[in-house]
């Protein structure tokens, strides 16, 4: 049976607890990466998640950021790290290993406004991620990176490229990190199966973006060559974005042999 791995920026796990539990129950992924917990763990529904048969690795943070990797209880895994930049001040990274494959859950910095110190931090953060990816590829270690990349890779990943030209998600310096991952041999899982068309993972709460289809694709799975060889599918589940009081993101899912 393929392993189902999903990623979802829930935009506050406290506000979206019922959505998270509903989606877990209905979709039963083997592993789920979630981002933007907006809690240091106090409001993370660990016992509710456990009741559904999962364990959680949590790297929380109050106010913003925060990530958690949710794993089915019968899956053997090893926690590798909860930091990318040494002792990180911002909770944006969890790395585990399952069956010899490293699985990295990220909530990349937004970086706005551009230019700014926040954008400089985004660039430094991504430089560290790219270096880690290059090292793993050199060692022929199978791995994947999933989560909210806060990067719109191409014009086709945005409903109106002109509206985003000067945004930190779309400027050349940000897109270059995505391209570095690709140029070093990684594959954008969604583009393996969906070469064209309007496919988005985020719709702003403002100006009726969801109702008008004005979205962007910023949530991704990037796979090393060895992991790409095992890739069976990749899809975006738009349904939760239409739920009452939803996250502005929606889940993306892959299946690995």
- Domains in the chain, please, with CATH? 3-256 (3.60.10.10)
pLDDT value, residue 44: 97
What pLDDT is attached to residue 195? 84
Q: What is the pLDDT of residue 198?
A: 84
- pLDDT tens digits, residue range 162-182? 999 999 999 999 999 999 999
Burial of 139 (0-12, 13-18, 19+ CB in 10 A): exposed
Burial class (CB in 10 A: 0-12, 13-18, 19+), 147: buried
Specify the pLDDT at position 133.
Answer: 98
pTM: 0.98
Lookup: tokens for 77: 């895994």
CB-CB contact of 232 with 2 (8 Å) = yes
pLDDT < 50 regions, the chain: none
Q: What pLDDT does 123 receive?
A: 98
């Amino acid at each position: 049976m393929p392993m189902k791995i999903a990623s979802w920026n829930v935009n506050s796990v406290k506000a979206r607890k019922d959505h998270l539990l509903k989606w877990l129950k209905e979709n039963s992924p083997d592993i789920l990466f979630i981002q933007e917990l907006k809690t240091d763990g106090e409001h993370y529904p660990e016992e509710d998640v456990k009741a559904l048969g999962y364990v959680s690795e949590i790297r929380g943070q109050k106010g913003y950021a925060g990530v958690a990797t949710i794993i089915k209880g019968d899956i053997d895994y090893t926690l590798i790290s909860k930091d990318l930049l040494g002792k990180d001040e911002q909770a944006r990274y969890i790395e585990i290993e399952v069956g010899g494959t490293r699985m990295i859950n990220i909530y990349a910095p937004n970086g706005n406004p551009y230019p700014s110190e926040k954008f400089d931090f985004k660039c430094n953060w991504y430089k560290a991620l790219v270096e880690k990816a290059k090292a793993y590829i050199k060692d022929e270690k199978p791995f994947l990176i999933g989560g909210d990349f806060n990067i719109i890779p191409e014009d086709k990943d945005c409903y109106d490229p002109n509206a985003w030209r000067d945004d930190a998600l779309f400027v050349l310096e940000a897109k270059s990190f995505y391209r570095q991952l690709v140029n070093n041999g990684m594959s954008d899982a969604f583009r393996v199966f969906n070469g064209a068309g309007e496919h988005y993972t985020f719709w702003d709460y403002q100006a009726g973006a969801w109702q008008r289809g004005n979205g962007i694709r910023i949530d991704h799975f990037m796979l090393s060559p060895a992991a790409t060889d095992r890739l069976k599918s990749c899809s975006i589940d738009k349904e939760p974005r239409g739920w009452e009081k939803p996250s502005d993101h929606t889940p993306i899912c892959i299946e690995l042999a």
